Chains A and B, each alone.
Chain A
Amino acid sequence: AQRVTQPEKLLSVFKGAPVELKCNYSYSGSPELFWYVQYSRQRLQLLLRHISRESIKGFTADLNKGETSFHLKKPFAQEEDSAMYYCALVQGAQKLVFGQGTRLTINP
């Protein structure tokens, strides 16, 4: 089955430290992967998509087909990065399937 796994439910790092949120997927073919973020009391929103190869708010994510991973990284964490992060995979070209989510807390 095509699915997304986020092994960490909780992740806590200090401000200024590097951040890596893990995402692994199972998919036969060329996956389309995304990271969505939900800040406190805000709506779930798109952070970045792998096809764009973009950096948003200092975050990047590289698709590693060999390791079937799409980890989200930021070199220096900021307090405003505290949020719930979801990795997502397009399944069947029609729907977006999400992982269980990782709650990131940045400590001052």
Chain B
Amino acid sequence: GAGVSQSPSNKVTEKGKDVELRCDPISGHTALYWYRQSLGQGLEFLIYFQGNSAPDKSGLPSDRFSAERTGGSVSTLTIQRTQQEDSAVYLCASSLQASPNTGELFFGEGSRLTVL
């Protein structure tokens, strides 16, 4: 595909359930980012990957959140035991360059998560 692809586009789940959100970056992009977009909070950084390693996990809100990246490509963000405050749009972005100040971030359309 031409752009960053995220799935599912919409997910409704019950409180306490686990969810997995997938991101397929642009081919060849080494850097991958996860952000959370919610009303009143703006864009909140969650985690950053360079290749398969995550040098910066500082934004993950709690130990219920985890992410991995395999083959330097697809990434999965997992939220365990979801809570209502996890409801948000989860955005993935990729970049050709390791550092965002040299490379533009390309965003996916996001996965909208609703926790009932």
Residues of A within 8 A of B (CB): 6, 9, 32, 36, 43-46, 49, 51, 86, 90, 92-101
Contact = CB atoms under 8 A, between A and B. Distances in A.
27 contacts: A32-B101, A36-B105, A43-B4, A44-B91, A44-B93, A45-B106, A45-B107, A46-B104, A46-B105, A49-B104, A86-B43, A90-B99, A90-B101, A93-B99, A94-B48, A94-B98, A94-B99, A94-B100, A95-B33, A95-B48, A96-B33, A96-B45, A97-B45, A98-B44, A100-B40, A100-B41, A101-B42
A92 B48 CA distance: 12
B35 interface: yes
A99 B42 contact: yes
Nearest to A32: B101
Contacts of A9: 40
Interface of B: 3-4, 33, 35, 40-45, 48, 50, 55-56, 91, 93, 98-101, 104-109
Contacts of A49: 104
A90 B98 CA distance: 12
Given A9-B40, A98-B44, 6 more contacts: A36-B105, A43-B107, A43-B109, A45-B107, A86-B42, A98-B42
A36 B56 CA distance: 22
Given A45-B107, A46-B104, A46-B105, A101 B43 contact: yes
